[in-house]
Structure 1
Amino acid sequence: MSGTDDLSVDASRWEGSGQKANSSTRSSGPGVLTRDTSDTQELWRPACHFSPHSGWINDPNGLILIDGRYHAFYQYNPHATVHGPMHWGHAVSNDLVHWQELPVALYPDSLGQCYSGSAVFLPDGDVAIYYTAHLEVPGDHALQTQCLVRADRALERFDHEPDNPVLGNSEKRRDFRDPKVFWHAPSASWIMVVTLGRSVGIFVSVDHVNWRFASEFGAGLGASEAIGWECPDLVEVYAPDGHSRWVLIVGIWPAGTEEGSATQYFIGDFDGERFELDRDSASSANGFAHWLDHGRDYYAAQSFAGRQGQPPRVLAWGSNWLYANQVPTQRYRGLLTLPRDLSLNIEYHGRSTQGDVKTAPRAVLLQRVPSEVCHEFPLLCDADFIPIDAQRRVARPGSGVYRLSLTVALSRGEHLAICLFGEEKANYVIWLDSQARGLMLGLHRDKQHVEHGLLLSSFDTDSTIALEIQVEGDSVLLSMDLYVDNGFTELVLGDGRHCATMAYFPESPAGPILLDQHW
């Protein structure tokens, strides 16, 4: 919504109304999730997202599936809850919901801090880890180079390459970081994508140690306000009919769907040397880029290695550089998002050329939370809501962890406001615009109180998003899933072509939910 739109709903009209929703009997998972919240420092600790026991976390790194276990490394400061000297933390999970935190894997050394990177299988079964060494240089900007660590298959032993860095920075680029490495079978080559300021460099190797520059992508493309690109990933994504496109994902700062950091992507083709943009699958309005997420708390998305023959599966950091160091958790700061599987839908849109109608294929990226993760969230649906009047319904979740699954029917000019946590203002508003702008999504979040009575003003959000979902006629039927984990929310709309991730720090994570169509 724009700053002038009012999303307020009088909570006194519905607080305490109705009866407790029977979410446990409708859960397709293990039932209502509970935990001890007597420690106020743990009030917002997620139950289904990974967060470290203590310390700071940001970008996911080195995601890899080994022998049925998902390993997630991540940017980690074990000594404080703010960004600081970067280590690689390490956690493992069988199901991407329940995580075991492991000892720190990589520590800063004489080459610098251990910035973001990736992991990939080697032909002998061992694992190669690539990361950016970030070395502070007195009187100059930091020197960033790419380093290699060889790990055993159990990811318990980490041996640094004696000749590190394997990719130097002779041009002394200020921003030269976050290597994503993968094997490209058609060219029989190892590929590394790494950010070069406001573009992505593609490097090629035949032995995973010696690298040559192949090409650069991104100059003049993407969100025009972005100063820096970070955390690139390049994945091949398939449609049900077998057609594929390559998707280049990149985090950008300091611009996005609003302010701060965000994640964009490009659709195109990759031949082992160059990424070529598919201009039919994007609009020039945003520099031919799409938003991977429309919320403010989804950044640095990375895919898992080791999932050959399966859809790319990505995790991201659930925060924003604009305020990540100030959010009101104190024992830890930051978390990783839910996983999402990526697929394509190939759509055909008519085009007229000298009176003849042509069809041009357009690739649309879809994101879906895996079903095995969905089932870990107790389910709330339409039947769990108790009517207050003709326009308003209320439900009471059994805990602060649930999946709200709804089908929304809207006609032109109609709205649905979703008020979570018993709060006075709507967190999400979906409406079918009467002025033919199509389906719209409004996001709202109030300023957050932090320590010492200060207000975290950069946390405030009032934004409106036009959803690129085709609407025939004057009505629409839209499905949605909203994953709520003690204040952290991830919204997936329709078939997964639009997502919005937002962090909240409510007084009552298990507070009632109001659906209001009289907004």
Structure 2
Amino acid sequence: MSDAAAVHAELVERAEQAAMKLEKERNNRWYPSFHIAARSGWINDPNGLSFFNGRYQVFYQHHAYSAYWGPMHWGHVSSEDMVTFRREHVALAPSIEADRDGVFSGSAVVGDDGKLYAYYTGHRWNNMFNDDDGALQVQCLATSEDGVVFTKHGVVVEGPGLKHFRDPKVFRIDGIWYMIFGACSEDNRGQVWMYTSTDMFNWEFDRILFEDPNPDAFMLECPDIFPLGDKWVLIYCPMGPRKDAYQARNSHNAGYVVGDWAPGEDFKQLTDYRLIDWGHNFYAPQTFEAPDGRRICYGWMGSFTIGTPSQETDGWGGQLTVPRELSLDEDLNLINYPVAEIEKLRGEKTEFGSFVLGLNQDKVLLEQTPPCEILLDVDLSVTDSERVGLKIGLTEDGSHTYVGYDSLAERIFVDRRLAGNGDRGYRAAPFPGGDKLSLRILIDRGSVEVFVNGGVQSVTSFAFPNAGDRSVALSSESGSITVDRLDIYPLDTIWEDERQ
């Protein structure tokens, strides 16, 4: 083992031990059961999503030494089926000059030699402390024969001297490798740059693939480009745009444009920028192609600006969304919906059938709320309740998170005003219209994910309930609700060492 490899091995082991020590003090009251999170400490962007050695590999930005953002490492979990996961060793740690202050986000692909190639941004503060004097960002490579232990190869793309230059996403077409990443131009415009390679080590600048038409967007984080049908979807996270009605309400937002693209050509934008998810906590999505051809996406649930109560007292911060399958509808809207494998977690169904909930009534559906999934179909043609609401995590003191459909605003909402703990706020996605409302709501210990009419829209938010008995109730307001179906499934944990 070389000296550099020995240093890296020591640093990843040190991080692993720190995470295991902090795990012993972790409070599980809100710790996710069926969402990926680090065993302890901080987690943000999903990284290196891939299928390698017969397993789905999920890496993520990780700080093992506290529940807050710090020098970035890559944490790691893996699974044979995307719903039964085992924790792997910390994969990457800052250990060379190029990544001295952080192994930032990136992607992973399988090379022709059978190894896993992980590309990431090496980050260095110019003042060795913070961003006040800027930073140097370069693109680095590490490879692995087993997906667990990595060998670093250093810098493969030098920085062009821009303020922001990070988050490489790599893919291949017809024997040519392509790398895109986000950049901030010299005139402060958010762009996506593209490089190409034939050997995975030597990369050449190809073009500026895309510039956000919004002049307020000064950086496009975590870009990803992939085909769906005969179109290409470009996902990115614009930094800078101001709040606009229901859109861009968070300090960090994620969206997409759809266009035409072919190797050697510029990207031709066909749609406006659209949010992927309208919730409080959805950022930095990354996709990969599953062995069966599905395009799968994970996003990060967290915030860089508003802390969570789990960080303050429970020894962990942040989690990933459930894996979602992506598709395009005929209007080039990006559909995102939980992968079919999630149904493997279901326990015995509680079935309520069809019924009418009368004027200003509440119907308790669960006295206690385990991690679960609610499927609710409502006939809006014979529903005149102003809102079709579900009070989730309802405790004796009245605290709850309110999820449902607002007929006045014609939107699907998550309202955390009475949630009990953490940030409050209201987020709402547009309802696609029609007489049928279909909601699929995934409830974990500290989060909700709401999918509308098969994934036409989604709303993802943390929701930290108060202590005590936590019920779920269906609620009508100034009218009645006609329910066609209401089913509830408890959901098992994803962690193989915690299965009953």
**Structures share fold, TM-score greater than 0.5:** yes
Match of residue 415 from structure 1: 387
Equivalent position to 1:167, from 157, 164, 181: 157
Paired amino acid for 2:416:
R
Change in CA separation of 1:210 and 1:485 when aligned onto 2, cut-off 3 Å: same
The residue correspondences of 1:378-397 to structure 2 (distance < 5 A) are 378=347, 383=352, 389-390=358-359, 391-396=361-366
Residue identity in the other structure for 2:178: I
| Worse overlay, 507-516 or 188-197 | 507-516
- What are structure 1's unaligned runs of at least 5 residues? 1-38, 239-243, 283-287, 347-361, 451-455
Larger RCO of the pair (alpha carbons < 8 Å, separation 6+): 1
> What does the per-residue CA deviation read over 1:376-423, in whole Å, with 9 as the maximum and x for residues that have no partner?
144766607998855432211654201000102224774212211114
Taking the TM superposition and a 5 Å limit, the aligned residue runs for 1:183-222 are 183-185=172-174, 188-197=175-184, 198-221=190-213
Q: Partner of 1:466 in structure 2?
A: 430
Q: Which amino acid letter does the alignment assign opposite residue 145 of structure 1?
A: V
Q: Could you tell me which residue of structure 2 aligns to residue 66 of structure 1?
A: 52
Matches of 2:168 and 2:367, distance apart in 1 = 42
Where do residues 99-118 of structure 1 align in structure 2 (5 Å cutoff)? Answer: 99-109=85-95, 110-112=97-99, 113-118=102-107
- Equivalent pair of 1:381/1:405 in contact (CA under 8 Å): no
Which residue number corresponds to residue 266 of structure 1? 257
Quickly say closer, same or farther: Cα 1:461–1:416, change in 2 above 3 A: same
> How far, CA to CA, are the matches of 1:207 and 1:322 in structure 2?
40
CA 1:480–1:254 in 2, change beyond 3 Å: closer, same or farther?
same
CA–CA separation in structure 2 for the residues paired with 1:225 and 1:191: 28
What SS is found at the alignment partner of 2:27? helix
Matched with 1:368 is 337
Q: Report deviation, 1:259.
A: 2.3
Cα distance change, pair 325–132 in 1 and its aligned pair in 2 (3 A):
farther
More moved, 325-334 vs 81-90:
325-334
Letter in 1 for 2:446: G
TM-score (norm 2): 0.79
Q: Deviation per CA, 1:46-88, whole angstroms, max 9, x where unpaired?
A: 1101111211111111111124311111111111111001111
Q: 1:338 to 1:387 in 2, by over 3 A?
A: same
| Matching residue of 2:77 | 91
| CA 1:463–1:61: 2 relative to 1, 3 Å | closer
Read off the aligned partner of 2:472 and give its amino acid letter: I
Structure 1 segment 77-156 matched on structure 2, within 5 A: 77-109=63-95, 110-112=97-99, 113-138=102-127, 140-152=133-145, 154-156=146-148
How far 1:234 moved relative to its partner? 1.0
Structure 1 residues 40, 209: CA separation in 2 closer, same or farther (over 3 Å shift)? closer
2:165/2:183 contact within 8 Å kept: yes
TM-score, length-scaled by structure 1: 0.77
Q: What is the CA-CA distance between 1:124 and the residue it aligns to?
A: 1.5
Do structure 1's residue 400 and structure 2's residue 400 form an aligned pair?
no
> Does the 8 Å CA contact 1:205/1:212 hold for their aligned counterparts?
yes
Residue in 1 that maps onto 2:403? 428
Return the alpha-carbon distance in structure 2 between the equivalents of residues 505 and 489 of structure 1: 10
Bigger Cα displacement from structure 2, 192-201 vs 387-396? 387-396
Letter in structure 2 aligned against 1:193: I
Identity among equivalent positions (%) equals 27
Gaps of 5+ in 2: 1-24, 185-189, 242-246, 479-500
Aligned residue for 1:304, secondary structure, equals strand
Paired AA for residue 247 in structure 1: V
Please report how far the alpha carbon of residue 502 of structure 1 lies from its aligned counterpart in structure 2 after TM superposition.
Answer: 0.7
Q: Is 2:176–2:197's contact at 8 Å kept on the other side of the alignment? A: yes
Deviation at 1:368, TM superposition (A): 1.7
- Which residue of structure 1 aligns with residue 456 of structure 2? 497
Structure 2 vs 1, CA of residues 258 and 159 (structure 1 numbering), >3 Å: closer, same or farther? same
Aligned-pair CA distance for 1:517: 2.1
Could you tell me how far apart the structure 1 residues matched to 2:387 and 2:106 are? 43
* Structure-2 separation of matches of 1:325 and 1:480: 26
CA distance in 1, matches of 2:297, 2:365: 32
- SS, match of residue 104 in structure 1: coil
Aligned partner letter, 1:481? R
The 3-state SS of whatever aligns with 1:374 is helix
Distance 2:308 2:218 in 1: 20
Deviation of 1:203 (Å): 1.3
| Matched residue SS, 1:372 | helix
Is structure 2 residue 282 aligned with structure 1 residue 298? Answer: yes
Letter in 1 for 2:459: A
C-alpha deviation, 1:270, in angstroms: 1.9
Q: CA separation in 2, counterparts of 1:372 and 1:117?
A: 26
Aligned partners of 1:314 and 1:339 also within 8 Å: yes
- The RMSD of aligned alpha carbons is 2.7
1: distance between equivalents of 2:77 and 2:250? Answer: 30
Per the alignment, in what secondary structure is the counterpart of residue 373 of structure 1?
Answer: helix
Q: Is the 8 Å Cα contact of residues 268 and 275 (structure 1) preserved in structure 2?
A: no
Q: 2:297 aligned to 311, 314, 326, which one?
A: 314
